[in-house]
Amino acid sequence: MTMQPMEVYRLWWLHDARWYQGVAKRFGQEVANEINAEALRFVATRVGKQVARAFAKPVNQADAKELAALFERCADIMFPNELRDGGVTALDEELLELTMRQNFAVVMVRMAGSLEGYQCPCTEIHAGWAEGLGVELSENRATGCLRHGDPQCRLLMRVAGTGE
């Protein structure tokens, strides 16, 4: 039997969900949220480095549209489209917007009954992608979140020193 990539993702995320629940049960949800954010930032940094190495030129020479595509590639690697519905758009030369209308992580946390204490690690993931890409974010914040009942997650990332 050959495992398909989506099945590997599903099993890995099932492991992650069980791990999160185990840490939350034994040590509290605050600790689970903290460790989850640290681990995801570590992975995101590695993904950002991988994406930067594959880019045709130094990332600090990328324009806003190219930066949006680089962040989108990071998102695709960590969270394939089959598990999310969203994208990254350049709003101007420095400001990128990541939107998600569906997020499997929030769905799984809700199904596990842990949504109330769960804290989304999105800004830590974005900080990791930026670090791996070698860009600095002067702004990294959520303005909407599915976890809070908003119709979509909306995250803003302002890249400092674009095009320098």
- Fold that domain 5-160 belongs to in CATH: Muramoyl-pentapeptide Carboxypeptidase; domain 2 (3.30.1380)
pLDDT at position 81 is 79
- Whether the CB-CB separation of 66 and 133 falls below 8 Å is answered with no
pLDDT at position 104 is 79
Give the whole-angstrom CA distance, residue 164 versus residue 151. 36
pTM attached to this predicted model: 0.89
| Tens-place pLDDT, residues 84-95 | 889 999 999 999
Closest of 80, 142, 71, 131 to residue 105, by C-alpha: 80
pLDDT at position 110 is 80
pLDDT at position 164 is 44
